Amino acid sequence: MVERVKYFVDLTFIKILKLSCGRMFSVEVAKMEEILNGLLDFLNKSHTEFNATYNIKEILDNNNFIELQEGQNFKIERGKNYYLIRNDSSVIAFKVPLMIHNFAFKICASHLDSPCLKLKMEKAISSQNYLKLNVEKYGGAIISTWLDKPLSVAGRVFYKKGEEIKREIIDFNKPILIIPNVAIHFNRSINDGYIYNIEQDMKPIFALGNDENSFLEAIANLLNINKDDILSYDLECYNFTSSLAGGLNNEFLMSPRIDNLESAYLSLKGFIESNNENDISVFVSFNNEEVGSQTFSGADSDILKNTLKRISNSLGFSENDYFVSLAKSFLLSIDNGHAIHPNHQEFSDLNSPVYLNKGVIIKFNSNMAYTSDALTSSYIIDICKKNNIPYQLFYNRSDVRGGSTLGALSISQLGIKSVDIGCPQLAMHSNYETSGTKDVQYMFELIKAYYLN
């Protein structure tokens, strides 16, 4: 038996591998296939942070988690699992061991939002027999990747029913929009570089005609209500192209919203499939990371801090017990990072290049844009070594500012040890991104081992 053969993900040869390598290997390959297919299914259904939250809720419900409401008293029992949702777009789930005493919180944190084009709540625009929608840019999207793609719309809608205000999570789930480029015959210099203007260039068309209420009518028909009952909505455009495993040997995960739904799903999967009998395991995925997290449901809100304190209080622990538990706690901040680019190696630190399918990345930054330091990273490196999980160290070039993520904001609320990790990927913030299928398995195994460690 080859020791690391369980990480092989060429799904083309799965049947051959099962036949030739025996029962144990077949179990590992089947598990690997289950995780990748589960991720693809999640990506293909989670077209906005609201839809992703709904899909996470469904997974938690199917695994016997009990929903709590922030506006009600928590009634938590030992040996049971719980979750809560804030603003339809942030989720916290946790597991309470049956015999709990001197506990810590073992937390995995990710985010559910991605850069996109968000619809303005305005009538459709009628122009030259085209009907267009007005949009604004959410987050740091690569704008050119949104043109000439089949697009759809998903999100949430609030409407009046009798005296009640109702909310529905919706998804048109068909390609109803497109943003056409200008033909090269009219813009001969487009390949020399073109600056797209959101106001002028990025309005998607959805129909021909001049009925400015037709899109509102389409929303109403989807909900089987009158258009005049619609009060408000958060709706986003998304790429209708399916998520898939591609490449000659299926080595690439190709999908919209890999950043950061890949992290969210894999941390949820590892969380559900691990059972720590001493500590409280916590899964959290926030909204609004792409716009700074300083929102009602972002990582810089009080949702995680308040929930952890309410868990401790509900279990009968004192305030001092709570602070002791925080001192022993740990947070894995999980957000995808940058693999070396096939055509532009000059953007990477070539002394520590990061590759697809070579392992989870641990992110470092001397100015603490990432929370990893020698202390916290040593824990994760030790887990990787003990479990034969490949890992890589990520640094930006010393003359590149780089990005940041949610870890620093989360721990500023709590003051607990943290490290930033992620799966390597290409084309971050594109409308269609690429990562590695083997890294799916590596990340899942790391998260599961982390919760159990």
270 in the same domain as 383: yes
Q: How confident is the model at residue 402 (pLDDT cuts 50, 70, 90)?
A: confident
User: What is the C-alpha to C-alpha distance for residues 262 and 426, in angstroms, rounded to an integer?
Assistant: 13
- Among the listed residues 135, 118, 134, 138, the one whose alpha carbon sits nearest the alpha carbon of residue 126: 134
Mean pLDDT on 194-203: 97
pLDDT of 383 above 70: yes
User: What is the C-alpha to C-alpha distance for residues 255 and 156, in angstroms, rounded to an integer?
Assistant: 22
Mean pLDDT on 31-40: 94
Task: Say which CATH number the domain at 129 has.
Answer: 2.30.250.10
pLDDT of residue 403: 72
418 in the same domain as 294: yes
139 falls within a domain:
yes
Mean pLDDT for the chain overall: 92
User: What is the C-alpha to C-alpha distance for residues 270 and 263, in angstroms, rounded to an integer?
Assistant: 11
The share of the chain scoring above pLDDT 70, in percent, equals 93
pLDDT of residue 47: 98
26 falls within a domain:
no
Q: How confident is the model at residue 26 (pLDDT cuts 50, 70, 90)?
A: low
Query: Could you tell me the pTM of the whole model?
Result: 0.93
- CB-CB neighbours of 161 under 10 Å: 10
Domain limits for position 152: 116-239
Residue 273 corresponds to which tokens in the numbers above?
């499939």
Q: Rg of the chain's alpha carbons, rounded to an integer?
A: 23
Kindly list the strands in the beta sheet with 424-426, ordered across the sheet, starting from the edge strand earlier in the chain: 244-246, 252-255, 433-436, 424-426, 337-338
User: What is the C-alpha to C-alpha distance for residues 104 and 326, in angstroms, rounded to an integer?
Assistant: 7
pLDDT of residue 413: 75
pLDDT of 1 above 70: no
- Counts for the chain of helices (H) and strands (E), in that order: 10, 22
The sign one gets for the Cα dihedral 228, 177, 233, 143 is negative
pLDDT of 385 above 60: yes
CB 202 within 8 A of CB 135: yes
pLDDT of 50 above 50: yes
157 in the same domain as 70: no
The sign one gets for the Cα dihedral 128, 134, 140, 146 is negative
pLDDT of residue 358: 98
Mean pLDDT on 129-136: 98
356 in the same domain as 343: yes
- CB-CB neighbours of 330 under 10 Å: 19
Phi-psi region of 359 (alpha: psi -120 to 50; beta: other; left: phi over 0): left
CB 422 within 8 A of CB 337: yes
Q: What is the pLDDT of residues 243-295, one digit of tens each?
A: 999 999 999 999 999 999 999 999 999 999 999 999 999 999 999 999 999 89
User: What is the C-alpha to C-alpha distance for residues 261 and 244, in angstroms, rounded to an integer?
Assistant: 14
Residue 313 corresponds to which tokens in the numbers above?
């209080």
37 falls within a domain:
no
272 in the same domain as 210: no
The sign one gets for the Cα dihedral 185, 191, 193, 197 is positive
Residue 153 corresponds to which tokens in the numbers above?
């719309």
User: What is the C-alpha to C-alpha distance for residues 442 and 453, in angstroms, rounded to an integer?
Assistant: 16
Mean pLDDT on 47-66: 98
Q: How confident is the model at residue 15 (pLDDT cuts 50, 70, 90)?
A: very low
Mean pLDDT on 322-337: 96
204 in the same domain as 158: yes
Residue 292 corresponds to which tokens in the numbers above?
């700074």
pLDDT of 353 above 90: yes
Mean pLDDT on 81-103: 96
User: What is the C-alpha to C-alpha distance for residues 209 and 131, in angstroms, rounded to an integer?
Assistant: 6
Mean pLDDT on 358-383: 95
99 in the same domain as 124: no
User: What is the C-alpha to C-alpha distance for residues 348 and 150, in angstroms, rounded to an integer?
Assistant: 32
Q: Which amino acid, one-letter code, is at 158?
A: F
Q: Where are the alpha helices (DSSP H) in 105-212?
A: 198-201
Q: What is the pLDDT of residues 410-439, one digit of tens each?
A: 677 788 999 999 999 999 999 999 999 999
Q: Which amino acid, one-letter code, is at 214?
A: S
35 falls within a domain:
no
pLDDT of residue 407: 67
Q: How confident is the model at residue 51 (pLDDT cuts 50, 70, 90)?
A: very high
Q: Which helix (H) or strand (E) holds 86?
A: strand 81-86
427 falls within a domain:
yes
Q: How confident is the model at residue 27 (pLDDT cuts 50, 70, 90)?
A: low
* Phi and psi at residue 400, to the nearest 5°: -120, 130
Q: Which of 3-17, 172-186, 349-363 has the lowest mean pLDDT?
A: 3-17
421 in the same domain as 287: yes
Angle at 449 between CA 447 and CA 451, to 5 degrees: 70
164 in the same domain as 309: no
Mean pLDDT on 168-187: 97
CB 119 within 8 A of CB 409: no
Q: How confident is the model at residue 369 (pLDDT cuts 50, 70, 90)?
A: confident
> How far out from the chain centre does Cα 77 lie?
29
Mean pLDDT on 167-195: 96
23 falls within a domain:
no
Angle between helices 374-386 and 437-452 (to 10 degrees): 100
**Whether residue 365 has a cis bond before it, omega within 30° of 0:** no
pLDDT of residue 30: 87
248 falls within a domain:
no
301 in the same domain as 174: no
Kindly list the strands in the beta sheet with 81-86, ordered across the sheet, starting from the edge strand earlier in the chain: 66-67, 81-86, 90-95, 280-286, 105-111, 330-334, 417-422, 360-363, 391-394
CB 380 within 8 A of CB 333: no
Task: Say which CATH number the domain at 343 has.
Answer: 3.40.630.10
13 falls within a domain:
no
299 in the same domain as 419: yes
Instruction: Count the domains in the chain.
Output: 2
Residue 318 corresponds to which tokens in the numbers above?
């004192």
pLDDT of 79 above 90: yes
pLDDT of 28 above 90: no
66 in the same domain as 105: yes
Mean pLDDT on 368-386: 95
pLDDT of 447 above 50: yes
